[in-house]
Amino acid sequence: MRVLFFECNEVFNTLLPSAFKDLGHEVEISGKLNEQKIAKLIHKFKPHLILSMGWGLCQSPIYQKCISKYAKKYKIPNVYWSLEDPAFTHLFVLPLIKALSPDFVFTICKSRVDYFKKLGIRAAYMDYGYNPKIHYREKKNRKYNCSIAIVANSYAHVLKDEPHSYRLQSIKTLIYPLLKQNIRIDFWGHDWEKMNPIIRCDIPNDWIHGYLPYSEATKVYSSADIVLGLQNHYTQLTQRTYEILGCEGFLLTADTLALRNLFKPGQDLIVSSSPQETLELVHYYLSRPENREKIRKQGKLAVSNYTYTQRAAYIIDTLKKEKILPKDIQ
């Protein structure tokens, strides 16, 4: 099967597109777009399936309307994977769906499936995953060797207007108590120097390392004794949750329903429900490397059923069941 991805985000290119290739499909990735390029790609590549995902430069209304036009003209199944639910369903996702007119939508938010269906949008749930080819354990890297690490953007500009967000609650549970006790955390990501007005606590400048290329994150997860993982919602997992476990990182994250539905705290990873519990867990596990190693290895086993190759196979199976793809297509 020939699969055409309209995508220009290099990170996303290593995820689902790579998975479809691993399943033996022929894959084309658009890169930056204009209307002439959209028409040319579809005419030349003759895809059996068109896929778009997320929110980026390729998801402008002009391009989405153009993709929709040519998909309908050549009767090519047109599918969208929504990565911005539930926070931006109304602001971004629904306007995009209106422009793109996809035949089917996959969403990372379970509760949005029925919501989309009530709007007449055919939909199913599909979460993030990880790619074993790029998310794997490496040797400890001297540059990233540390006791406690976090790889995440602060989103300070968003959190100042959302004081009740679950992400901020996660920060106050996992990060704030360590800072108050002057326990070093090494921060990779944008804008952590801007967090003082939000958490009322300074982060020393030499703890902040700024932007980290996506390809380097694996080195941090493999080198830190403990990796902190923020969660954005009580009922959803972040992309990094899967990736940290795929790299055999020792993950300390917020205790959520979504996490407990897939993983076993204390066995696959560790979770905290309060600032005091975070301090207790950090002190306990930093002094017990053998316990960390056992949980780290079990976490990798627990996440092994959530690869992007399995996600790609699920997409194909779902689209066949929904009669969007023919059952005999290879």
Instruction: Supply the pLDDT for residue 9.
Output: 85
Domains of the chain as residue ranges with CATH: 2-127+308-321 (3.40.50.2000), 142-303 (3.40.50.2000)
Q: How far apart are the C-alpha atoms of 271 and 252, rounded to whole Å?
A: 5
Q: Taking each helix axis from N to C terminus, what angle separates 239-246 and 289-303, rounded to the nearest 10 degrees? A: 120
Q: How far apart are the C-alpha atoms of 111 and 125, rounded to whole Å?
A: 9
Q: Are 30 and 4 in contact (CB under 8 A)?
A: yes
Instruction: Supply the pLDDT for residue 59.
Output: 86
Q: How far apart are the C-alpha atoms of 221 and 151, rounded to whole Å?
A: 9
Report the percentage of the chain scoring pLDDT > 70. 100
Q: Map residue 136 onto helix, strand or coil.
A: coil
28-86 pLDDT, tens digit per residue, is 999 888 888 999 999 999 999 999 999 888 888 899 999 999 999 999 999 999 999 99
121-146 pLDDT, tens digit per residue, is 999 999 999 999 999 999 999 999 99
Q: How far apart are the C-alpha atoms of 150 and 249, rounded to whole Å?
A: 11
Q: Taking each helix axis from N to C terminus, what angle separates 61-73 and 35-45, rounded to the nearest 10 degrees? A: 30
Instruction: Supply the pLDDT for residue 328.
Output: 84
pLDDT band at 98 (very low <50, low <70, confident <90, very high): very high
Of residues 154, 215, 188, 155, the one with CA closest to residue 13: 215
Whole-number mean pLDDT of the chain? 95
271-292 pLDDT, tens digit per residue, is 999 999 999 999 999 999 999 9
- CB 38: neighbour CB atoms within 10 A? 23
Of residues 86, 131, 130, the one with CA closest to residue 108: 86
